[in-house]
Amino acid sequence: MSEQHTSRQCRGYAAKGVDLVTKHNRTIDWVLYNRAEWFISPETRHLFYGTIRHHQALVDLVSPLLDKPLRDKDSVVYSLMLVGAYQLKVADTPAHAAINETVNATRTISRPWSRGLVNAVLRKVTSLDIKPDQSFGHAHWLVHLMTQAWPGECIDILSANSLRAPMALRINSILTTRAQYLERLFEVGIQAGQGLAEQSLILNHPQPSITLPGWVEGEVAVQDMGAQFAAPLMLLPAAESSACRSTGSNPATRILDACAAPGGKLAHLIELSTATAAEADDNSSLPEVVAIDINPDRVAQTETILARLGHACQLAVGDACTLSWWDRKPFDRILLDAPCSGTGTIRRHPDIKLLLKEPAIAEHAVLQLQMLNNLWQTLAPGGTLLYCTCSLLPQENDGVISQFIEQPGNDAKVCSIDLPTGHATQHGWQLLPTDPNTDGFYYARLQKVA
């Protein structure tokens, strides 16, 4: 189905998506993938994300207006009221349009009996103000951990998490240059500027990726600017880092991306390697790139993304906690983008505020350390491993690195990192969502002592 939805359909489908997240614990990614037909119109996605992003404030507004809670089977009606309240109090949609079309959406959610109730609640909402919330909808335990980690920046971080994230692009350096692609954007009326990462561009206004010039041809990808530092750091010789000069470095002849899906960093790595070899007119210098991911569906998704960009590599289903996939040939570089809480990407995944539970932080740290210990066995002496997460919490970042290097007999040396934005930490580098045009992201570089 290619046609756009009507206004009432947009509101109804957004409400159904909100209901799946809040009542059925589905992630936003799951909803967008498994109910893609609901999100044909950008307006639906806007209402869906916006309502989730401001969920707690909207609940505090709407719930007192109900004489009694709705039945569980009618929770989608409550979600529709939240979508209406979002339009009225956050999106500044004219009241008549917000109320009328949201009331009409009761047919889209198959609850026409609720027209009068939805109408009455939203009319009351128009005279109310959203109460200030110093937590910005984050759970109290998460606010506590954020305050411990970033006492001076915590309020700004929580506030930033309620905003819409910038749309960052990565140009495919095999096919074009940043200056050339920026000119192409301007020719079609799309305003953008250069980001701090070398291949990055930041759009002034987000828009569907399929509308970008050269998208089908693979000239550009959508990737957060913070994540675009991974590939350059991977290819950086360890000898260029003062903390690792004493041990020298091996050329990057064999590279592993150990948690590759959905493939943004992997594609960037292939692009930079290919462009470097082309500049040197030496295809023999192209490294062998191996990539694994534990999820077969995400491996298939990664294959599709690589194909659009014109890339290929040794990509397979594999568990970074085991060695059953390894051919016993060591790697000179390893990228471990470890599973984590995602607390640096709440702007893009506001459902994290609703679904993340405190015990998950410690569980992630155990898994992250297990992956580090396992993959370290596959790294050649003198080689480097780049550990990264999209977390803001030291428990998943410096804390994991500390545990790893302090193990008896460990032969890892921490390499320094210096990026054009962000903050140095004890063992690595932290980007925050309050830094220019980036999500929260953590990097640490480790070299195996030769």
Reported as a pLDDT band with limits 50, 70 and 90, residue 228 is: very high
Reported as a pLDDT band with limits 50, 70 and 90, residue 251 is: low
Question: Which DSSP letter does residue 214 get?
Answer: T
Take residue 242 and report the two structure tokens written for it.
Answer: 């003062």
Assign domain 7-125 one CATH number from 1.10.940.10, 1.20.1050.40, 1.20.1250.20, 1.10.238.10.
1.10.940.10
Task: Provide the pLDDT for residue 245.
Answer: 41
pLDDT in tens, 52-75: 999 999 999 999 999 999 999 999
Strand-pairing partners, residue 387, are: 336, 444
CA-nearest of 249, 201, 205 to 447 is 249
Q: Residue 238 in contact with residue 384, Cβ under 8 Å?
A: yes
- Annotated active-site residue 244? The verdict is no
Which residue is catalytic, options 154, 244, 388, 390?
Answer: 390
pLDDT in tens, 136-154: 999 999 999 999 999 999 9
CA-nearest of 237, 328, 239, 249 to 290 is 328
Cα gap 299→189, rounded to integer Å: 35
Residue type, 183: E
Element (DSSP H or E) covering residue 293? strand 288-293
Task: Provide the pLDDT for residue 362.
Answer: 98
* pTM exceeds 0.85, yes or no: yes
CATH class name, domain 165-222: alpha beta
Residue 1 has pLDDT above 50, yes or no: no
Task: Provide the pLDDT for residue 134.
Answer: 85
Cα gap 314→305, rounded to integer Å: 14
Q: Residue 173 in contact with residue 153, Cβ under 8 Å?
A: no
pLDDT in tens, 290-308: 999 999 999 999 999 999 9
User: Which residues 6+ apart lie within 8 Å of 176 measured at CB?
Assistant: 184, 214, 219, 220
Residue whose tokens read 């004219």:
94
Task: Provide the pLDDT for residue 248.
Answer: 38
Residue 247 has pLDDT above 50, yes or no: no
Residue ranges of the chain assigned to CATH 3.30.70.1170: 165-222
User: Which residues 6+ apart lie within 8 Å of 96 measured at CB?
Assistant: none
Q: Residue 168 in contact with residue 222, Cβ under 8 Å?
A: yes
Residue ranges of the chain assigned to CATH 3.40.50.150: 225-448
Cα gap 54→136, rounded to integer Å: 8
% of the chain surpassing 70 pLDDT: 96
Would you identify the CATH topology of the domain 225-448? Rossmann fold (3.40.50)
Cα gap 34→29, rounded to integer Å: 8
Residue 117 has pLDDT above 90, yes or no: yes
Rounded mean pLDDT of the chain?
Answer: 93
Q: Residue 302 in contact with residue 260, Cβ under 8 Å?
A: yes
From residue 116, how far is each of 88, 102, 111, 151, 273 by CA, in Å? 18, 11, 11, 47, 61
Residue ranges of the chain assigned to CATH 1.10.940.10: 7-125
Of 71-80, 156-165, 234-243, 392-401, which gets the smallest average pLDDT? 234-243
Task: Provide the pLDDT for residue 238.
Answer: 56
